[in-house]
Amino acid sequence: MLIVDDEPTVRMLLTDSLGDLGYTLIEAADSLAGLKLLRSDVHIDLLITDVGLPGGMNGRQMADAGREVRPHLKTLFITGYAENAAIGDEQLGPGMRVLTKPFAIDVLASRVQELMSS
């Protein structure tokens, strides 16, 4: 899994929580670093990204760009905004979900498991 969030404490919470569940994780602090990993040959089953990111593009734009080379990339958007603001005017594609902050770890875990098994 690739976790992209500009807040180190959020990245740490996500990596610790999901690492405890047995997932292998890599991290990026902005959209440029995230997109570089998405365009690499690193194995990524799931992208977990904040919507508001530094680096020139938001999480949705980064995920869309990543899907150009990984068309079946599953994505979980994490946002402090309402769902409609997170996805913009477009509907989410297949394999894309939104999780609104604040969230409980068990909700995160079930959302990740749901995406991984879809």
Domain of 29, CATH number, reads 3.40.50.2300
Instruction: Using the structure block, give the residue that is written with the tokens 């599953």.
Output: 74
Radius of gyration of the CA atoms of the chain, in A: 13
Overall average pLDDT of the 19-48 stretch: 97
Q: Is the pLDDT reported for residue 86 higher than 60? A: no
**What domain range includes position 54?**
2-117
pTM of the model: 0.92
Count of helices and strands (H, E) across the chain = 5, 5
* DSSP code at position 48: E
**Count of domains forming the chain:** 1
Q: State the pLDDT confidence band at 7, using cuts at 50, 70 and 90.
A: very high
- The contacts found for 99-104 with CB under 8 angstroms, 24 or more apart, are 103/78
| Residue 39: predicted pLDDT | 97
